[in-house]
């Protein structure tokens, strides 16, 4: 089974550098809408048997153009939502961003008992994301597009897929509609096939560099 893990399109909170992880979350900016509109052409010719989105509205909006073109009704799986920021929710301070990322990639390095301040620990995050992926795998599908979130995609892939270097995952930007591809299954494990940092529609759809902790890397 191949999972195409696509980050959602740009939101106002991405632009403002806010840790916005709560339900239902913001919609897309005009750039985010253009990024979403470019996904069908970017994935033309790729096999997609199903589309899954998180319970946060930005993923459904991002998936909509492709879902309409392919005639596929997206599955909503709450486990694919962004990593809860806990007490850091809506924080815009650089120090809060660093604490969020340090916690998230600590989980990928094996420190799963560490908790986000006022939020979940790594076991809780990985368990609910693993469960969502297992639900997709149980359907016997060959290729699934999963529209999810920057920190969740990077942390899950770094923790679960072979050939992903955690330091690289922490340093490497995943722009809005950036795509990480893994192949395998929940029993035999996952292997990294591609890490495409630019927007699916090409680098011309990238936003200017921003202090965006759920996607772009944050410089110390």
Give me the catalytic one of 23, 33, 73, 82. Answer: 82
Give kind and range of the element (H or E) at residue 198: none
- Beta-strand ranges (E) seen in the chain are 2-7, 50-53, 75-76, 143-148, 161-162, 179-185, 189-196
Catalytic residue of the set 8, 89, 170, 216:
8
Instruction: Name the nearest CA neighbour of 211 among 56, 43, 97, 70.
Output: 97
Is 142 catalytic? The answer is no
Find residue 7's DSSP bridge partners: 148
Residue 82 catalytic? yes
Contact assessment for residue 62 and residue 39, using Cβ atoms and an 8 Å cutoff? yes
Residue 26 structure tokens: 């913001």
Active-site residues, by number, are 8, 82
């Amino acid at each position: 089974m191949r999972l195409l893990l696509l980050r959602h399109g740009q939101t106002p909170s991405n632009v403002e550098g806010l840790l916005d992880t709560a339900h239902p979350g913001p919609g897309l900016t005009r750039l985010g809408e253009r990024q979403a509109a470019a996904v069908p052409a970017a994935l033309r010719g790729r096999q997609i048997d199903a589309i899954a989105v998180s319970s946060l509205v930005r993923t459904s909006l991002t998936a909509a153009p492709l879902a309409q073109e392919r005639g596929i009704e997206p599955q909503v799986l709450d486990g694919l939502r962004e990593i809860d920021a806990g007490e850091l929710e809506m924080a815009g301070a650089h120090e809060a961003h660093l604490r969020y990322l340090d916690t998230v990639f600590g989980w990928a390095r094996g420190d799963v008992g560490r908790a986000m301040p006022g939020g979940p620990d790594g076991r809780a995050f990985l368990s609910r994301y693993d469960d969502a992926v297992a639900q997709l795998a149980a359907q016997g599908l060959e290729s699934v597009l999963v529209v999810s979130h920057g920190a969740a995609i990077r942390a899950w892939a770094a923790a679960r897929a072979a050939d992903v270097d955690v330091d690289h995952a922490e340093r490497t930007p995943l722009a809005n509609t950036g795509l990480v591809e893994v192949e395998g299954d929940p029993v035999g494990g996952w292997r990294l096939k591609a890490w495409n940092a630019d927007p699916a529609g090409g680098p011309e759809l990238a936003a200017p560099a921003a202090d965006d902790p759920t996607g772009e890397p944050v410089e110390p």
